[in-house]
């Protein structure tokens, strides 16, 4: 069970969150099918650090971007999605 630092609520238990997959923006709505297919189906599966989305559903109801290490499960920081770092 992870401890996820929410930028709004501080360190909270994983059970308060829903997972949202890798944090990467969707193509624009008028992008072609190829761009959408790439965005949905060709995912990186990094061994190491990656940014992913978690929804603090049983908390502040904010989607947050979390940096997690896929092997050690370490989480170093989190941020609001609309403020890319």
Partner 1 sequence: MTAANQTRRLAEGGLVDRTRPLAFTFNGRVLCGYKGDTLASALMANGVDVVARSFKYHRPRGIMTDGPEEPNAVVTVGEGSSRTPNLKATEVVLHDGLVARSQNCWPSVDHDVGAVTGLAAPLLGAGFYYKTFMAPRGAWPRLYERLLRHAAGLGRAPKGHDPDSYEHRHSHCDVLIVGAGPAGLAAARLLIQAGLRLILCDERSRPGGSLNGTMQGIDGESGSAWAQRVAEEIAASPDVSVLLDTSAVWLGDHRLVTLVERRRGAGGVAERLWLVRPRHVVLATGAIERPLCFPGNDRPGIMLASAAAAYIHRYGVAPGKRAVIHTNNDSGYGVLRHLCQAGIDVKTIIDTRPRDAIGEAALDMIRDVDVLAGHRIVATAGRHRLRRINACAADGSRRSIDADLMCVAGGWSPTLHLLGHRGGTLRHDEDNAACGDDVAVAGAAAGVSGLAECLADGARAAGTVLQALGRDIPEFRAPEVDAETETLSGSPNGPSCSTLDVRQQRAAFVDLQNDVTALDLMRAIDEGYGAIEHLKRYTTSGMGTDQGKLGNVMTIDIVAEATGQPVEEVGHTTFRPPYTPVTLGALVGHARDEHLFPTRQTPFHHRHLAAGALMELSGPWHYPKCYPRDGETVDGAIEREVRTVRNAVGFVDMSTLGKFEIMGSDAGIFLERAYASRVENLALGRCRYALMLREDGVVLDDGTVARMAADRWHVTASTAHADEVWRHLERLRQVEWPELDVLLVDVGEQWAGLALAGPHARDVLADVAPELDVSPEALPFLGFRETRFDGARARVFRISYSGELAYEIYVGARHGDRLWNAVMAAGTPFGIAPYGVEALDVMRIEKGHCAGSEFDGRTTPAELGLGRMTRRDTPFLGHALGRQRSIHQRLVGLVSTDRRTPIPRGAILVAGTARSRSLGHVTASVVSPTLGQPVALAMLQGSFCPDDGELRAVSPVAVLDVAVEITGLPFYDADGGRMRA
Q: What residues make contact with Zn ion under the rule CB under 5 A?
A: 6, 8-9, 56, 59-60
Of 53, 75, 73, give the one whose Cα is nearest residue 65.
53
Q: Which tokens in the block code for residue 22?
A: 């890798």
49 binds partner 1 (CB under 8 A): no
Residue placing its CB nearer to partner 1 in the complex, 25 or 48: 25
Do residues 64 and 78 lie in contact, with contact meaning Cβ atoms separated by under 8 Å? yes
Of 85, 3, 17, give the one whose Cα is nearest residue 51.
85
22 binds partner 1 (CB under 8 A): no
Other residues' Cβ atoms within 10 Å of the Cβ of residue 53: 17
Q: Choose the contact partner of 8 out of Zn ion, partner 1, none; CB within 5 to 8 A by kind.
A: Zn ion
Binding site for partner 1 (CB under 8 A): 1-3, 18, 20, 23, 25-27, 29-33, 35-37, 39-40, 53, 55, 57, 61-63, 71-73, 75, 81-82
């Amino acid at each position: 069970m992870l401890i996820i630092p929410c930028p709004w609520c501080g360190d909270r238990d994983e059970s308060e969150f829903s997972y949202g997959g890798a944090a990467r923006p969707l193509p624009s709505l008028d992008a072609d099918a190829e761009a959408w297919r790439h965005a949905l189906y060709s995912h990186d599966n990094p061994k190491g650090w990656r940014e992913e989305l978690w929804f603090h559903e049983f908390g502040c109801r904010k989607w947050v971007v979390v940096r997690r290490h896929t092997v050690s499960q370490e989480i170093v920081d989190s941020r609001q999605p609309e403020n890319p770092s």
